[in-house]
Amino acid sequence: MCLVVSIALFTLSCQSGGTGPLEAVRGAFQTVTSPVRSLGAAITAPVRGLGNIFSNLTADQATLSELQDEVDELRARNAELEEDASSAQRLQDLLDLRDTNDLQSVAARIISGSTDSWSSTVTLDKGSSSGLSAGMPVTTSSGVIGQIVSCSSTTSTVRLLSDESSSISAMVQSSRAQGMLTGSASGEVRLEMVSTSQEVTTGDVIVTSGLGGVFPKGLPIGEVVSVTNNPGDLYLDIFVELYADTSRSEEVLVITSLTEDQRASSDDIAEADAQERGGASTGDDDDSADDQAPNAGDGSDGSSDGTGE
């Protein structure tokens, strides 16, 4: 029945050509229902908009996930590049040190630290098969760290300057005051056997003296952080902060041999002897230190000859 009525209405609409009573009824119906349709559109618009938002959010979340993956990848790559650049700079610094000081040396890498609590050592990744042997000095680009005490075929053990059994000849760069750089059980480093007649101040740079023919002359070691002249003492009480931090160092140079220019000259040896004699003389002039002067003289022999190295 509804189908018949629909066909009849459609036929009348076509015959009337857009005029007639049927069109008037349809126009009136549209006028009456227009507010209802507008209200319906207003109600459904937020729903349609919310659907679009959810659709966009789904797409944006996927995009954000992809972008986050790219950011993570770029960060990892950037970290690799920074590490490569840092390593390259450290190696360049070692090359500069080698070239500046004309060092005969072999580059090595620190692979581990002390395995016990009563010694200060590090292990290198090269040994006797690379031409290394006990007694050879070791330095970073920042400063000297110590001396090889034992070697296997592929590794070497380095006793650090802070070790209590370490003792090497050193001097104050500015005043040329000679002394012995010694470590301690606490890790503190001191410059000993420097006469109270010598000029030493906080901030002075300490370098290798070349005495003993083991360490090349003039390599940086550290700087004076405190100096005390105790009444009645023959020697200054000097504490030194080392330049090299082995906990942060990776690459080192092992110095395999010295040129004649890198050894202490006869003038350097004579100056060291004169300083020791000056220290002993100071003790002789002080009644309270009369019994100490001979002992100081015994110590000066070791310092001048560099046997501590």
> pLDDT of 9-60, one tens digit each?
555 555 555 555 555 555 554 555 555 455 555 555 555 555 566 566 665 6
Helix, strand, coil percentages (3-state) for the chain, rounded to 5, are 45, 25, 30
pLDDT in tens, 82-118: 777 777 887 888 888 888 888 999 999 999 988 677 8
Give counts: helices (H), strands (E), the chain. 4, 12
The chain-wide mean pLDDT, for the chain, equals: 79
When pLDDT is cut at 50, 70 and 90, the band that residue 71 belongs to is confident
Q: Can you say whether residue 146 is alpha, beta or left, with left for phi > 0 and alpha for psi between -120 and 50 degrees?
A: left
Residue 248: the pLDDT is: 81
Q: Taking 60 as the threshold, does the pLDDT of residue 191 lie above it?
A: yes
Type of residue at 21: P
When pLDDT is cut at 50, 70 and 90, the band that residue 306 belongs to is very low
Residue 228: the pLDDT is: 95
Residue 235: the pLDDT is: 93
Indicate the SS3 state at residue 171. strand
- pLDDT higher at 17 or 253: 253
